[in-house]
Homo-oligomer: A and B are copies of this chain.
């Protein structure tokens, strides 16, 4: 199983409402695109200074399903319209994990 982990840091002026809109938009992606085993958008818990602000952890059965999601036009539109305008920094990895 391939796990996609991406961390976002928002620009300082980004509001909670804007993050809510990102959350709503990305949470529609699994149904819109398919091939997603698990999908979670979460805000940072605020326990440590200097952290990024939010993350998505998404599980795919294999690399092919992840790449289909990554490159899907609906995903790219959400990135372009909802995420990119808010983004100060982004960090991502994909890792192979055993299914839960």
- Copies in the assembly, this chain: 2
Bound form: Cα–Cα A94–B46 in Å: 7
Q: Which residue of B lies closest to A60 (CB)?
A: B47
Bound form: Cα–Cα A5–B92 in Å: 11
| A interface size (C-beta, 8 A) | 31
Contacting chain B: which of A14-22, A50-58, A73-81? A50-58
Bound form: Cα–Cα A44–B9 in Å: 20
Cβ of A89 within 8 Å of any chain B Cβ, yes or no, is: yes
Bound form: Cα–Cα A97–B89 in Å: 23
Q: Which of A51-71 contact B (CB under 8 A)?
A: 51-55, 57, 63, 66-67, 70
Q: Which residue of B lies closest to A46 (CB)?
A: B94
